[in-house]
Chains A and B, each alone.
Chain A
Amino acid sequence: MAVVMALALGRNYGLGILRLLEENSNLVLSEGTIYPILNRLRQDAIVDSTWVESELGHPRRYYVLTSKGRERAIEMANTWLQLAAGLERLARPVVGRKEDNHDGSH
């Protein structure tokens, strides 16, 4: 899901996606994990890939979401937001109660 979300922000390459996830979501992935995932997403026509020359002198394989991939990304984002909202409703009273107990102890 995180890989699809990262590509929803724009085309990117393997190491670029790893860096983006680390910087924006604190998700630190095993580096070897991402390439087989990108390969499967490509086989499932969720992403497409092209080789582009980089400024470092070697080509990079860039991935971009296909129209099917963009639909999947929206679907995933909606599911995640609904799940997160539900969990937040459950979690908020727990934090509130803990703070109440903390205030009452003084």
Chain B
Amino acid sequence: MTGPTNQYLAELRTALSGMTIAEREEVVEEIRTHIQERATQPGMPIEEVLRRLGPAAELARDYNNGALLRRASRSRSPWFLLRATYHWAWTGIHGLVIFFLALIGYFTGAAFIILAFLKPLFPENIGFWIGPDGAVFGMPASRHGATELLGPWFTQVAILIGIGFLIATTIAVRALLPKLKRSHRLARGTPETAARIA
């Protein structure tokens, strides 16, 4: 193995994440055999073989994106799903839409739960108010002429709504992830290679 090949494979190994050591070594071995076999072709210097493979970091990113998506598909952690969708937001319009859906859903859920915990601290200000300005769930700008409807039940109701948002957002994000998976399967490379291949 030549210096450039070893350097390329070392960079690839370092950049691969989200997989076991055995999986990582198998990937590196597969790329090594690709380089070896390509380089046996006449008129194919090692530099050209590596150029055709693309930068090691980019190759690793494609593997890592797939691994991240698989982990996200199985995860129920809002924090992990939010981080994963943030990562995918940079890869295309589908990713961006799912990220904003996750952001709004989780933010709203968290806001209801925070309100539930603030209620005992500010019992006179926080509630479900109906007044001249309409209905306000939380802290109204003015309580003048408004009536609070839930009283001590506000905390339980706010927690239930908050958890409902978190669960609904998680279900929605997990249901939308396969679409992201399909949209990600586009070939990268020169314009003539932009064919849907998997």
Residues of A within 8 A of B133 (CB): none
17 additional A-B pairs beyond A31-B52, A33-B188, A36-B65, beta carbons within 8 Å, are: A1-B198, A15-B37, A28-B190, A28-B192, A30-B189, A32-B59, A33-B62, A33-B197, A35-B59, A36-B62, A40-B66, A43-B70, A54-B37, A58-B37, A59-B33, A61-B26, A61-B33
Are B33 and A33 interface neighbours, CB within 8 A? Answer: no
Kindly state whether residue B149 has any CB partner on chain A within 8 Å.
no
Tell me the complex Cα distance, A1–B198, Å: 4
Are B59 and A27 interface neighbours, CB within 8 A? Answer: no
Residues of A within 8 A of B185 (CB): 37, 40
User: Which of B29, B53, B66, B195 is A31 in contact with, Cβ under 8 Å?
Assistant: B53
Are B187 and A30 interface neighbours, CB within 8 A? Answer: yes
Are B33 and A58 interface neighbours, CB within 8 A? Answer: yes
User: What number of A residues sit within 8 Å (CB to CB) of B?
Assistant: 26
Are A14 and B197 interface neighbours, CB within 8 A? Answer: no
Kindly state whether residue A29 has any CB partner on chain B within 8 Å.
yes
Residues of A within 8 A of B29 (CB): 59, 61
Tell me the complex Cα distance, A63–B63, Å: 17
Are B198 and A39 interface neighbours, CB within 8 A? Answer: no
Near A by CB (< 8 A), chain B positions 67-88 give 70
Are A33 and B66 interface neighbours, CB within 8 A? Answer: no
Kindly state whether residue A64 has any CB partner on chain B within 8 Å.
no
Tell me the complex Cα distance, A29–B198, Å: 12
Residues of A within 8 A of B198 (CB): 1-4, 37, 40-41
Kindly state whether residue B11 has any CB partner on chain A within 8 Å.
no
B93: shortest Cβ distance to chain A, in Å?
Answer: 21
A56 with B59: in contact, given A30-B193, A32-B54 (CB under 8 Å)?
no
Interface residues of B (CB under 8 A from A): 26-27, 29-31, 33-34, 36-38, 40, 52-54, 58-59, 62-63, 65-66, 70, 181, 185, 187-190, 192-193, 195-198
Kindly state whether residue A11 has any CB partner on chain B within 8 Å.
no
Are B197 and A1 interface neighbours, CB within 8 A? Answer: yes
B-side binding surface: helix, strand, loop or mixed? helix
Residues of A within 8 A of B62 (CB): 32-33, 36
Are A31 and B197 interface neighbours, CB within 8 A? Answer: no
Near B by CB (< 8 A), chain A positions 33-71 give 33, 35-37, 39-41, 43, 54, 56, 58-61
A28 with B193: in contact, given A15-B37, A43-B70, A58-B36 (CB under 8 Å)?
yes
User: Which of A1, A32, A56, A60 is B196 in contact with, Cβ under 8 Å?
Assistant: A1
B108: shortest Cβ distance to chain A, in Å?
Answer: 33
Tell me the complex Cα distance, A30–B188, Å: 6
Are B197 and A29 interface neighbours, CB within 8 A? Answer: yes
Tell me the complex Cα distance, A14–B37, Å: 11
